[in-house]
Amino acid sequence: MLKQLLETTAHIRALDSAAMQAARERQDQLTKPRGSLGQLEELTIKLAGIVGKARPRFPRKAVIVLAADHGIAAEGVSAYPQAVTAQMVLNFLAGGAAINVLARQAGARVVVADMGVASDLPVHPSLIVRKIGYGTHSMQSGPAMSLQEAIKAICAGIDIVEAQVEQGLDLVATGEMGIGNTTAASAIVAAITGSTVADVTGRGTGIDEQGWRHKVASIEQALTVNQPDATDPLDVLAKVGGFEIAGLVGVMLGAAAHQIPVMIDGFISGAAALVATELCPALRSYLIAAHNSVEIGHRVLLEHMELVPLLNLNLRLGEGTGAVIAMQLVDDAVAILDEMATFTEAGVSEKEDQVAG
């Protein structure tokens, strides 16, 4: 399994600078003031570099939603009972959740996988089952999972995205479901960035002040008990992560190995991206930060990765919702690059060299 992981990371190349240059030159010839489409212009240049084409398009889209439970949920860190993880997976499969609605809007297929829900889910033709366990152990008393399990979960994520690549995939978004997983994400971000737990811990699905203090104390205890090694992202992932977070690490690495850009969603996806980029720094160029979550730790991890989010809509739902919303911005940006007329084509005068007066 470690071999699969190493082979995948070895396939992640630097971006294609010739394609990026060609995209930039074309942007500057289109009938608009240079740079006037701001982040959308920058986005097209990055996308060109990822796929190695001057005018890329991304018609085939998927959001990969990984679900798993967390031992820490038993410690009362969430506003919702653990059973909601399984219930929401059924909601995803029935098409009634926010991610289903937003993916339909974006033209993305929803891929749902059980990475370690605490119960056995009914068999469903659309449910991928790659269960690593029935929830992680509580990280308050020891590691959430073994190193072996972490690698197994990452490789499951690689397999899941590669199956999508075989079906045809141009753009992928990451999503997740797991009661308690903002707690795991906060622990990961604190461990890797060295931030204090209070600075990277939010209200999750909606706990009160007392609940928040308890959540912070739980994470601090987990870090004290486990002593994750900040320089070893797999150690951090195994000790204070989750099966769905590990799976997302694999999804990101697997997509980048196939030159597919990855829209990262909110705080949980961001924590997975943090682990994945520490593991393989070349991955960073393949990641598009979809939005800035209400979760305070999200900004910390984006700044650590030097990624600027596209949207800032006060989202805090997860599931991949922000990432699929931002897929429409990708479509807008590349349509501009591909379809707009140039100054020459349209017979429009370019900027005057000297401003009069």
What residues are annotated to the active site?
A: 319
Length of the chain: 357
Neighbours of 132 (CB within 10 A): 23
Token pair 């991304």: residue: 58
Which residues contact residue 20 at a Cβ distance below 8 angstroms, ignoring those fewer than 6 apart? 45, 46, 48, 49
Stretch binding its own copies (CB under 8 A), from 11-19, 37-45, 127-135, 248-256: 37-45
- Sequence letter at residue 110: V
Q: Is 299 in the site for its own copies (CB under 8 A)?
A: no
Q: Contacts with its own copies: how many residues (CB under 8 A)?
A: 71
Q: Take residue 13 and report the two structure tokens written for it.
A: 């190349």
Of 39 and 126, which has the nearer Cβ to its own copies?
A: 39
Q: Is 285 in the site for its own copies (CB under 8 A)?
A: no
Q: Take residue 142 and report the two structure tokens written for it.
A: 């020891």
Q: What value, to the nearest 5°, has the Cα angle with vertex 87 and ends 83 and 93?
A: 155
Q: Is 124 in the site for its own copies (CB under 8 A)?
A: no
Of 164 and 321, which has the nearer Cβ to its own copies?
A: 321
| Main-chain dihedrals φ then ψ at residue 223, nearest 5 degrees | -70, -35
Which of positions 16-35 make contact with its own copies (CB under 8 A)?
Answer: 30-35
The binder of its own copies chosen from 1, 2, 6, 101 (CB under 8 A): 101
Site string for its own copies, 176-205 (x = CB under 8 A): -----------------------------x
Which of positions 63-92 make contact with its own copies (CB under 8 A)?
Answer: 75-81, 83-84, 87-88, 90-91
Rounded distance between C-alpha atoms, residue 80 and residue 156, angstroms:
27
Question: Can you list the alpha helix ranges (DSSP code H) found in 107-173?
Answer: 147-167
The binder of its own copies chosen from 5, 20, 23, 40 (CB under 8 A): 40
Of 127 and 317, which has the nearer Cβ to its own copies?
A: 317
Site string for its own copies, 303-322 (x = CB under 8 A): -------xxxxxxxx---x-
Q: Is 328 in the site for its own copies (CB under 8 A)?
A: yes
The binder of its own copies chosen from 20, 62, 97, 287 (CB under 8 A): 97
Strand 262-264 versus strand 287-289 pairing type: parallel
Of 173 and 234, which has the nearer Cβ to its own copies?
A: 173
The binder of its own copies chosen from 2, 126, 341, 344 (CB under 8 A): 341
- Sequence letter at residue 246: A
HEC readout, 251-295? HHHHHHHCCCCEEECCHHHHHHHHHHHHHCHHHHHHEEECECCCC
Q: Is 230 in the site for its own copies (CB under 8 A)?
A: no
Strand 108-116 versus strand 127-129 pairing type: parallel
HEC readout, 210-256? HHHHHHHHHHHHHHHHHCCCCCCHHHHHHHHCCHHHHHHHHHHHHHH
The binder of its own copies chosen from 104, 142, 167, 281 (CB under 8 A): 104
Q: Is 348 in the site for its own copies (CB under 8 A)?
A: yes
Of 73 and 237, which has the nearer Cβ to its own copies?
A: 73
The binder of its own copies chosen from 132, 207, 234, 251 (CB under 8 A): 207
